[in-house]
Chain A
């Protein structure tokens, strides 16, 4: 079963605007991670937030985690055309049985120049 579900499925914005993507999950987690995938290519790890953290920053990325609501958000500030990609959240469930990451279906972000 799908653990993480991203929302929206697709998002189109203008260059310079901020992009916010949300992820909801169902079970308790050790950590939640966000990945980027350019069309047909491998996924690239962006940022990891542990279950005892509420917010984390990395460059233009800001991730929040609300374990009471079982949700996370990824904010990309001052977006660029190069940010056009699919973004996936992935959860590492607790208690850990095999360190498996379960991925959502992704949000397709299009940044128009």
Chain B
């Protein structure tokens, strides 16, 4: 089944403890992106990657890191999480290039992160 898989689904952590949220897609998509969703603010893009070893900042990149060493994986790293990073996080992928105008994004099921 074509899908984007995020792990974990739920995570509670303490301030300052490094964590990684994994994202993997099995569709050979070039484009991958991370969003966070907060009440009243909608979805905001954190980082995106147009292909292996090509990443760039979205609208709210502060406090986050990403890497794209393989086409299928795009982990989100919080090196020193803070309570304002408590949110619902989504990974998404797309074929990329001109195809993005044809097919849209495929989203993962989300990771609900709580930082205390």
Interface residues of A (CB under 8 A from B): 2, 30-31, 33, 35, 40-45, 48, 50, 88, 92, 98-106
A-B contact pairs, 27 of them (CB 8 A): A31-B101, A35-B105, A35-B107, A40-B110, A41-B110, A42-B4, A42-B90, A42-B107, A42-B108, A42-B110, A43-B43, A44-B107, A45-B103, A48-B101, A98-B56, A99-B48, A99-B50, A99-B94, A99-B97, A100-B33, A100-B45, A100-B48, A101-B45, A101-B105, A103-B43, A104-B42, A105-B41
Evaluate whether A98 and B48 lie within 8 angstroms (CB atoms) in the complex, with A42-B107, A44-B107, A88-B43 already known: yes
> Which residue of B is nearest A51, CB measured?
B101
A43 touching B107 in the complex, CB below 8 Å, given contacts A50-B101, A99-B31, A99-B100: yes
Q: Which residues does chain B contribute within 8 Å of A103, judged by CB atoms?
A: 35, 42-43
Q: In the docked arrangement, what's the CA distance between A65 and B92, Å?
A: 25
Q: Given A42-B110, A99-B94, are A33 and B104 also a contact pair (CB < 8 Å)?
A: yes
Report the bound CA distance from A1 to B8 in whole Å: 29
Q: Is B106 an interface residue (CB 8 A)?
A: yes
Inter-subunit contact B101/A30 (CB<8 Å): yes
Contact A100/B58 with A42-B107, A44-B107, A92-B100 known, Cβ cut-off 8 Å:
yes
B96 touches A (CB below 8 Å): yes
Which residues in chain B, 68-116, are within 8 Å of chain A measured between CB atoms?
88, 90, 92, 94, 96-97, 100-110, 112
Question: Nearest Cβ distance between residue A84 and chain B, in whole angstroms?
Answer: 18
- Cα of A106 to Cα of B108 in the assembled complex, Å: 18
Q: Once the chains are docked, how many angstroms separate the CA of A99 from the CA of B105? A: 10
Smallest Cβ distance from A99 to chain B, in angstroms? 4
Which chain A residues border B110 with CB–CB below 8 Å?
Answer: 40-42
Cβ contacts under 8 Å, A106 to chain B: 42
Partner of B109, one of A42, A48, A105: A42
Contact partner, B88, options A40, A45, A92, A102, Cβ 8 Å = A40
A102 to B35, CA, bound (A): 10
